[in-house]
Chains A and B, each alone.
Chain A
């Protein structure tokens, strides 16, 4: 294992110290339990937005704390859900009297820990709405799984719900908009290489030099199918077909298309993916009205990408375009 770290057990704390030093204008950091909090929270009368998850997906979630997006993020250990005491502290810290929305990616651990935290906060009289993200089309939604995983749509939900909260919309409205993003968003990922959790010291899985994993999750969990590597045009067609058929997205739809790097993919390749995706959607009469290309929800140093489509309407476009000022996304300010 080669990484720019001191000791594996200090990775998360030292990352937080870096964030604290780099962005004092945006956030403050609470240690033990670890929470990244918007510098001006709590904001009276504004719905607080809290998310969290394992570390190793940077800039998600800590990089999305700031004006127009999250009020707090709870970083767990690498690829491990944070704990209820982190989420509870975050909820208290951002409650401006208008209630708090928890954005929860659909993983067993995240759901259970956020449930416990929401119970704690409600017992103190804080109104909490939990919104689940489960957009990964690689996972079949059935009674026999824990449901679909939450992946790329999380980033879009945090931006759009964050804009709604910034407009001082009430709790039920912010939650409604967040759920609307989940209902209209679909994603799929793929990996060319594995990744190494610092404390594990070894790659999570092995992939041959000529192999790729389709339908990979963001924790290096194996996907649905392993196959020989193909040209990117065929890879994008496979992923985009699965996504488009799922909602389904139809001719005349306007979408936000996110091409996301898994952490180890050069931008040159992400733009090629976007080029292929653009052609694929154009041929089906689907218009890319907005796009986001880069590393936003990563899996440590994994090479690979994910594609997320979000079907847009005027409300979602307006909220997407609204100003945002965070370490990871910034425009209009």
Chain B
């Protein structure tokens, strides 16, 4: 089982749909501990990315991911722009020149992506940020492949780990981003960035794991 260029495009399209469906939910999470713009910003960025990917369509998955990343950097703003932009740019670097992704390629993409996000945002696990969903997703996916699990199963476990990681942000006190200004008052709320990251990993599992 591998991911074709069309599958990669379906993943981007589906993630844009999921973000649009969750626009209010993400914004509502952000209004509790941030500044009430995360869903609006991500939706604007993914809609712009959809328009941009029409123009590349050269069969290179790396180029597709890079285009999404560049578009997010220049349209999202806030912290989400540089962070999600970096995530997709790193996906693009990890998959450069590839017309198909093998299960190992997605492991590498997740590793590069998380590394880039951490370098840009300087967040550690437990800081109540998107890496609290992405790191468990990366690790669970890698562990599943090592155990000989199928691609579908590895994606499923990756999404489940991201969901656990996202839920585990609820009691945390934020130490990065705007939520950190609240100190103890940030506890009790699910992190919006971890939520949009979980949705991304879940979308990969649903788009690529169902077929």
Contact = CB atoms under 8 A, between A and B. Distances in A.
Interface stretch (A41-49, A160-168, A197-205): A197-205
B169 interface: no
A81 interface: yes
Contacts of B80: 109
Nearest to A77: B77
B120 A112 contact: yes
Given A33-B74, A145-B175, A112 B183 contact: no
Task: Choose among A116, A197, A200 the residue with the greatest number of B CB atoms under 10 Å from its CB.
Answer: A200
A146 interface: yes
B77 A140 contact: no
Given A77-B44, A81-B78, A197 B178 contact: no
B181 A139 contact: yes
Interface in A74-93: 76-85
A197 B37 contact: yes
A81 B34 contact: no
A199 to B, nearest CB: 5
A33 B79 CA distance: 18
A159 interface: no
B37 A85 contact: no
The secondary structure that dominates the B interface is: helix
A57 to B, nearest CB: 12
B12 interface: no
Interface residues of B, number: 33
Interface string A312-330: 0000000000000000000
Contact of A219 (B173, B177, B178): B178
A80 B45 CA distance: 13
B189 to A, nearest CB: 11
B44 to A, nearest CB: 7
A80 B178 CA distance: 12
Interface string B121-138: 100000000000000000
> Most B CB atoms within 10 A — which of A109, A116, A197, A220?
A109
Interface in A127-162: 138-140, 144-146, 149
25 contacts: A77-B41, A77-B77, A80-B77, A80-B78, A81-B78, A83-B74, A108-B176, A109-B81, A112-B79, A112-B82, A112-B83, A113-B81, A145-B181, A145-B183, A146-B176, A146-B180, A149-B181, A197-B36, A197-B40, A199-B37, A199-B40, A217-B178, A221-B33, A221-B178, A221-B181
Interface of B: 27, 31, 33-37, 40-41, 44, 73-83, 120-121, 173, 175-178, 180-183, 185
Interface of A: 33, 54, 76-85, 107-109, 112-113, 115-116, 138-140, 144-146, 149, 197, 199-200, 202, 204-205, 217, 219-222, 224
